Structure 1
């Protein structure tokens, strides 16, 4: 590893570096190495890099580094296109700032209760992460004071423009201090991004990942008819020995219909789309990311900002409506430079879209359905199951408390325990399916941090 690629070479305090090391951060990704020195010098930066390249850490480290925790005012604001991305950014910032006591990161997104957000704003925060529409609503109703903001981040700027947030973003920026640091991160850099960048930034440094290769993702396309699509899915999974799969549909109705059909075929599936309540969406992402369910069926609400590693197969049940969406979909299987496989099912009605894909990708492999090598002995399954705990951060239940209860209390090995997600009022812990009953019984009859909690298997 080159010395200048290490986080230890950055101008960061020792306790910050120790926190990064504890989180597994040692070598910087390309976009981090290119942007962080300038960002830590408080310069404006425009960065182009795909999801999974480490850009959240790139813009979060400067936010944390310049934070004055004793000044209980909003100092940084991060705008994101979706609730899912905003929540994941907030989680990342909390992890990166855990060496600092009493940092308050508040998420402000639509689709969740408004009044509790007003109450949280009344009690104050250091960092705001949210979607443009909801943040603008709080500004218009004078619930939020942004007079002391010194850092603005626009994440997935291209997606926000695609979703029609340009006017909202402009109105939010008009309320911010002119003397601030601005960062703009985008997966693509089109003309509209350039116009936005001129409005947002001052004398910015432009950085771009040079080593992003489309060919690290194998792409296979199968021609079929609409009625036969569903019956092909099990063969696609078994022939590729896939263990973690995302299937993309263009509509919520198709997601639900496909979910029912695959469940009838004996497959464990989750669905993710905008009709779900926020709690359901949060649970779905937790269950899939902690490897408790092997298959996620989603609309494009999940194709951007879904930070889940080790997805080895993406299936486009419906061909994406445009090339950009297709690119982001298949990118779910190649996070952090890893290779992967993306399979697209198309019908005769998709000919125009297929021609567009041919023009943009030179690695498309057109396969025949009848040549699929279906392994009937293969059954996709998950290694983990998830336990729900009726206690979270508000009850002072932390991930370390749950880990201790399972190891010292119940007697599980650390290797039996997967991801632990501690939310405000509840927690989720993944445990290997072989020990789930032992974990459930042990936690139900024992205590976590001296208290009894209700425990369920989800």
Structure 2
């Protein structure tokens, strides 16, 4: 495998990549980064979890002129969840450069603050199509210096009906820009988009798109009324510590969450009714292992950058084979092995048949073969604390760690993920230290300032 130090990038960027744990390139990174550094246009077919975000981010950061305080790069994503995660990844990769401003423009959040932020300018824009097009139509955004455009998960964008929006955005940008299009599939709609926006491009196909992910797929034929009762057995038989359950409707998610809670499990729910802050918090609580189960509609099937999901359960069969593929792709990320269980009934047989055409290694089992391991106890290892201060207050992860160690008496191994947002932050601690940490953080100051801290 090629290493990042084989690339023609600055020493500072290389050191930062090493500090982030990036040493060897994935297949898609090795194939695309040199071409993107050479300012080539390209179309890259790569699966979720292949490392594509780093692939298009390294050239973006390397060509950034931080002293030119103007928008130089734009990344378009299909969902705000993916846009937020891409923005966070970009910030990590360019953290060795002072005063880089990465601005996220997504729908579902207040519009006027975005207008104000655009007046103060930025270096990099990460956006969803509809919202950035609205800013373009109202002349809120300066486009003349953009030299690098990335369309991430372009197939999902087209599935969501954003074809015309993407074309309009592309036409509004300078003609001399470099364009990179990343897609999990390369079907006719992607070819059509590429033909309309790219003329001299290189097509890159990741070797892994033809390799089956290491997912053990098991299908159980069940009656609708018995599905919920099977959940504990499915979890315990898989020894899963992190479980993502998909339902087709929001109301099903809510009812299932109530039933799961009554069965003794902690869970969170992710659906389109949540505002951005609620979505962010839900994802934080699940990803940092404070809640071992997340129940979601298909809003969560693309764009989630959460590793170490042991088990995906399709409580409802997906509407088609493409959605099924996206769902089960949440597990077996980063070369891990995962398990995906699908519960189906007579009414969904036709979709199951379509799924079988793609996956020839599905195991169809009788529910009688499912054994509940009563010795397995799914419990969260961590608890999350909410702090009413974030980036606007110049609060950093190191400040929170220092307060927990010096004031609350925790050790570094007692502290897990820290997520810092604009006005608030989250820190996960081992659950046996939750009350101790809560008490001491509320009693003392963090970085010389008093904050309110709450349990989540």
Query: What's the TM-score bracket when you normalise by the shorter of the two chains?
Result: over 0.9
Match of 2:327 in 1: 329
Distance 1:181 1:215, change over 3 A: closer
Match of 1:156 in 2: 153
CA distance in structure 2 between the aligned counterparts of 1:116 and 1:333, rounded to whole angstroms: 36
Shift of 1:216: 1.4
CA distance in structure 1 between the aligned counterparts of 2:84 and 2:54, rounded to whole angstroms: 14
- Give a deviation string over 1:65-124, Cα, whole Å, max 9, x none: 111111111111111010100000000000000000100000000001011111111111
| Residues 1:268 and 2:266 aligned together | yes
Match of 1:118 in 2: 115
Shift of 1:346: 0.1
TM-score, scaled relative to structure 2: 0.98
| Residues 1:96 and 2:87 aligned together | no
Shift of 1:353: 0.7
Shift of 1:337: 2.2
CA distance in structure 2 between the aligned counterparts of 1:419 and 1:249, rounded to whole angstroms: 28
| Residues 1:17 and 2:14 aligned together | yes
Match of 2:403 in 1: 405
- Give a deviation string over 1:132-174, Cα, whole Å, max 9, x none: 0000111111111111100000000000000000011111111
Matches within 5 A, 1:277-316: 277-316=275-314
Asked whether the 8 Å contact 2:42–2:181 carries over to 1, the reply is yes
CA distance in structure 2 between the aligned counterparts of 1:211 and 1:304, rounded to whole angstroms: 18
| Residues 1:246 and 2:249 aligned together | no
**Residue 77 of structure 1 aligns to a residue in which SS?**
strand
CA distance in structure 1 between the aligned counterparts of 2:408 and 2:256, rounded to whole angstroms: 39
**Residue 104 of structure 2 aligns to a residue in which SS?**
strand
CA distance in structure 2 between the aligned counterparts of 1:140 and 1:203, rounded to whole angstroms: 28
Q: Output the aligned Cα RMSD.
A: 1.0
CA distance in structure 1 between the aligned counterparts of 2:250 and 2:403, rounded to whole angstroms: 40
TM-score, scaled relative to structure 1: 0.98
Asked whether the 8 Å contact 2:76–2:150 carries over to 1, the reply is yes
Match of 1:59 in 2: 56
| Residues 1:133 and 2:135 aligned together | no
Asked whether the 8 Å contact 2:47–2:208 carries over to 1, the reply is no
Which structure 2 residue ranges, 5 or more long, are not aligned?
A: none
CA distance in structure 2 between the aligned counterparts of 1:198 and 1:7, rounded to whole angstroms: 32
Asked whether the 8 Å contact 1:183–1:201 carries over to 2, the reply is no
Shift of 1:376: 2.3
Shift of 1:253: 1.4
CA distance in structure 1 between the aligned counterparts of 2:198 and 2:383, rounded to whole angstroms: 46
CA distance in structure 1 between the aligned counterparts of 2:136 and 2:146, rounded to whole angstroms: 13
| Residues 1:42 and 2:43 aligned together | no
| Residues 1:106 and 2:112 aligned together | no
Tell me the number of residue pairs that the alignment of Structure 1 and Structure 2 aligns.
455
CA distance in structure 1 between the aligned counterparts of 2:275 and 2:136, rounded to whole angstroms: 25
- Give a deviation string over 1:425-445, Cα, whole Å, max 9, x none: 000001111211221122111
Match of 2:198 in 1: 201
Asked whether the 8 Å contact 2:46–2:208 carries over to 1, the reply is no
Matches within 5 A, 1:369-384: 369-384=367-382
CA distance in structure 1 between the aligned counterparts of 2:455 and 2:186, rounded to whole angstroms: 45
Q: 2:176 aligns with which of 169, 175, 179?
A: 179
Match of 2:139 in 1: 142
Structure 1 outlier segments of 4+, above 4 Å: none
Shift of 1:409: 2.9
Shift of 1:215: 5.2
CA distance in structure 2 between the aligned counterparts of 1:203 and 1:242, rounded to whole angstroms: 47
CA distance in structure 2 between the aligned counterparts of 1:408 and 1:338, rounded to whole angstroms: 36
Asked whether the 8 Å contact 2:214–2:337 carries over to 1, the reply is yes
**Residue 336 of structure 1 aligns to a residue in which SS?**
coil
Which structure 1 residue ranges, 5 or more long, are not aligned?
A: none
**Residue 208 of structure 2 aligns to a residue in which SS?**
coil
CA distance in structure 2 between the aligned counterparts of 1:10 and 1:151, rounded to whole angstroms: 19
| Residues 1:71 and 2:68 aligned together | yes
Asked whether the 8 Å contact 1:53–1:337 carries over to 2, the reply is no
